[in-house]
Structure 1
Amino acid sequence: MTHTTDGPDHGTIDAVPTRYGDTMFRSRLEADWAATLDGNRIKWHYEPETITLPSGAVYIPDFWLHELGIWIEAKGEGIPRIEKAAELAKARACRCPGDCACPWPGGELVLAGRAPLDITRTETGRWPGRGYANWETPFGPSAYYLHCPACSRNQWITLRRPWLCRACRHGLENQTAHRAIDRRVRFVESTPAGGFGDPVTEEGDEEPDAPDPGEWGDKR
């Protein structure tokens, strides 16, 4: 189904089904987030689980990053139902009375993946292929993006101490953490005209070749 909603430029975004790799996504923004995760070497599954929330509402989050314990809900500005992501975040947060014993430090993390920063629309319903990933947490502390030098995984964490890799629990106290507004994480367009953007890198690092579409996500 096609619908429109307010975009970051106060225009509209056409939410139309978009194929990326072997997966048909419900919107171009979802497909672009899949391409962005691929471009930053983050493994993902698309809509892998139907969750019944504590309120009784049924919720199907867009992405599950199974190595990191992170859910991502791709939502353009003004899209309703973000309260379900907030309820999931609250329900899955760590409630350990002492040191965290959750499978992932701090419990499961939920992010709202927004339309990219520093992007202006060039055609109706189409975004250029360059920009920076924009995210927020619907509940709890802000999320920061960084790289683990021990297991080489890119990821989001909150700044609740101790700062640990969500995959290998290596200490990350000495790593640089980026906010969305720092504009360090490349946003990648999924459509053939856009191609892959550049993965996040520190100055002086070599950038790896971009993977094939869907290489790091579902094979459907």
Structure 2
Amino acid sequence: MNDAPESPGPSIDAVPTRYGDTTFRSRLEADWAATLDNYDIQWQYEPETITLDSGALYIPDFWLPELGTWIEVKGPGVPRTEKAKELAQARACRCEVNCVCRWPGGEFLLIGRPSLASDRTEIGHRPRSGYANWETPFGPSTYFVKCPGCTRAQWTTLGRPWRCRTCRASLEKEQLHRPVDRFVRFINSASSVGSLFAMPDLGEPFTAAELGLDEEADDNFFHAGF
């Protein structure tokens, strides 16, 4: 089941884009790399060519080696995800009772889409590049979560075992986030230095008008630090 809404955002041309030491096939791929860096998630770009059971050759965009997760980046004009679905199905957990997979729940595959814009209901600052948007082409929906043990940011499902994919700490009491929750900030690779010491991209504060407040409240709202 797929929780992610369709992304009505603007078309993003597949223009080769340099970010860090890597040249990506598109700006959207580079932006996803910057977003992963922002959450300290290790990634490898196009690390291998996989021969699927159908005989087709497939090169997924990202492999997250600490999380056992693949990400295939697709712009709004690239709807076909057959190869991604086939790989996700082949690598999914098939354990009948207790999961003994290398990563709890088997390998995951996400479809990374263009970012979601603000819906003006968030508290604080509006991120300049919106929020990360993803889909699950096969199996249960995936949710973003941070491990309380190792603090590793990752994706998980509602299916057991609810365990961190790195340290296997329990995730059962942690808050899970869907794309529509607008929690995972998307990062523009052109404005990111790819450094863990970079200042966070807070964007601009919401105005009182945007949040449905009257004009008199606008000045108080601004000086309150929102």
> Shared fold (TM-score greater than 0.5)?
yes
Residue by residue over 1:89-115, the C-alpha shift from the partner in whole angstroms, topping out at 9 and shown as x without a partner, is: 000001123211100011100000000
Q: Name the CA distance, whole Å, in 2 between partners of 1:10 and 1:107.
A: 32
Pairwise CA RMSD: 2.0
Q: Name the CA distance, whole Å, in 2 between partners of 1:49 and 1:210.
A: 30
- Secondary structure of the 1:34 match is helix
Q: TM-score, normalised by structure 1?
A: 0.79
Superposed, which structure 2 residues align to 1:8-47 within 5 Å?
A: 8-9=7-8, 11-47=10-46
Residue by residue over 1:181-211, the C-alpha shift from the partner in whole angstroms, topping out at 9 and shown as x without a partner, is: 00000000001xx3379xxxxxxxxxx7439
Contact 2:105 2:161 in 1 (8 A): no
Contact 1:39 1:196 in 2 (8 A): no
Displacement over 6 Å in runs of 4+: none
Q: CA deviation at 1:149?
A: 1.3
Amino acid in the other structure paired with 1:49 = E
Change (3 A) 1:184 1:68: same
Q: Name the CA distance, whole Å, in 2 between partners of 1:149 and 1:10.
A: 34
- Could you tell me which residue of structure 2 aligns to residue 3 of structure 1? none
- Could you tell me which residue of structure 2 aligns to residue 203 of structure 1? none
Q: Which runs of 5+ in 1 are unaligned?
A: 1-6, 120-127, 198-207, 212-220
Q: TM-score, normalised by structure 2?
A: 0.77
Q: Name the CA distance, whole Å, in 2 between partners of 1:11 and 1:174.
A: 37
- Could you tell me which residue of structure 1 aligns to residue 102 of structure 2? 103
Superposed, which structure 2 residues align to 1:80-91 within 5 Å?
A: 80-91=79-90
Q: Name the CA distance, whole Å, in 2 between partners of 1:159 and 1:187.
A: 23
Residue by residue over 1:60-96, the C-alpha shift from the partner in whole angstroms, topping out at 9 and shown as x without a partner, is: 0000000000000010123044111000000000112
Q: CA deviation at 1:11?
A: 4.7
Amino acid in the other structure paired with 1:38 = D
Change (3 A) 1:10 1:64: closer
Amino acid in the other structure paired with 1:195 = S
Q: Decide which of 207, 210, 218 is 2:198's aligned counterpart.
A: 210
Q: Name the CA distance, whole Å, in 1 between partners of 2:67 and 2:10.
A: 34
Q: Name the CA distance, whole Å, in 2 between partners of 1:140 and 1:154.
A: 21
- Could you tell me which residue of structure 2 aligns to residue 177 of structure 1? 176
Contact 1:72 1:111 in 2 (8 A): yes
Q: Name the CA distance, whole Å, in 2 between partners of 1:190 and 1:162.
A: 34
Q: Name the CA distance, whole Å, in 2 between partners of 1:55 and 1:152.
A: 38
Amino acid in the other structure paired with 1:156 = W
Q: Name the CA distance, whole Å, in 1 between partners of 2:10 and 2:100.
A: 45
Does residue 133 of the first structure (1) align with residue 132 of the second (2)? yes
Q: CA deviation at 1:162?
A: 2.5
Q: Name the CA distance, whole Å, in 1 between partners of 2:93 and 2:71.
A: 18
Amino acid in the other structure paired with 1:25 = F
- Could you tell me which residue of structure 2 aligns to residue 54 of structure 1? 53
Q: Name the CA distance, whole Å, in 1 between partners of 2:193 and 2:181.
A: 20
Q: CA deviation at 1:152?
A: 1.3
Q: Name the CA distance, whole Å, in 2 between partners of 1:172 and 1:149.
A: 7
% same residue: 65
Contact 2:12 2:27 in 1 (8 A): no
Q: Name the CA distance, whole Å, in 1 between partners of 2:184 and 2:161.
A: 23
Q: Name the CA distance, whole Å, in 1 between partners of 2:146 and 2:90.
A: 27
- Secondary structure of the 1:171 match is coil
Q: Which has the higher Rg, Structure 1 or Structure 2? A: 2
Worse overlay, 140-149 or 78-87 = 78-87
- Could you tell me which residue of structure 1 aligns to residue 221 of structure 2? none
